[in-house]
Amino acid sequence: MRRVGIAAGVGQELADALGTDPLELRRKLLAGSPRHLGVLELAARKAGWGKPLPAGRARGIAVHSSFESFGAAVAEVSIEHGRPRVHRYTCAFDCGRVVNPDTIKAQLEGAVGFGLTAALYSEITLKDGRVEQSNFHDYRMLRMHEMPAVDVHIVASDEPSTGVGEPGVPTVAPALCNALFALTKKRIRRLPIRIEDLRA
């Protein structure tokens, strides 16, 4: 199984160092990979990449493949009360021939919620040699009012059907962190994201 991930923030850092647009850099890097490039272009177009945003907002982009599927995402982010706020998450997905598009849409919406929980809150801490978290009352998860609008765009394909569950998750945190870098110029080096990392 071939796995390619340009989801990590290294792409964003390279683009910044080269003084180029993160989307343009990824286009060059993925020129020989048409399915990666296809989802990347679709997500960017549907998210309005390059179009002006309200003051205090920025976009971040990520692309990934696993389980023979290809996904790309754009997160639109701001800082509210010192914490990241994701307003919109646009994803494009290529999993070959589609049987039930509603299933794919539901899986990707769930992946966004799961991925944002991991990026923003999920942390196991130890005290006196014991795990402090015991259940969901003290293990913070994304709440309904924090869930962004999620736009799902499925690539029409006659390729064999491939995975839909896990492949939606890996682009979530990188798209968020890349947007935060565009907004604050602070590079996130650990998850969950901490307020002090945005101020450092």
Q: What is the mean pLDDT of residues 168-186?
A: 94
Angle between helices 22-29 and 34-47 (to 10 degrees): 160
What ranges do the domains of the chain cover?
Answer: 4-199
Q: Return the CATH fold of 4-199.
A: Aldehyde Oxidoreductase; domain 4 (3.30.365)
Q: Which residues contact 144 (CB under 8 A, 6 or more apart)?
A: none
pLDDT at 22 over 80: yes
| Cα distance between residue 47 and residue 42, in whole Å | 8
Q: Compute how many other C-beta atoms are within 10 angstroms of the C-beta atom of residue 103.
A: 12
Residue in 57, 91, 59, 80 with CA at minimum distance from that of residue 167? 91
**Per-residue confidence (pLDDT) for residue 10, from 0 to 100:** 61
Tell me which of 3-17, 33-47, 103-117, 155-169 is least confident: 3-17
1 compared with 152, residue with greater pLDDT: 152
pLDDT band per the 50, 70, 90 thresholds, residue 7: very low
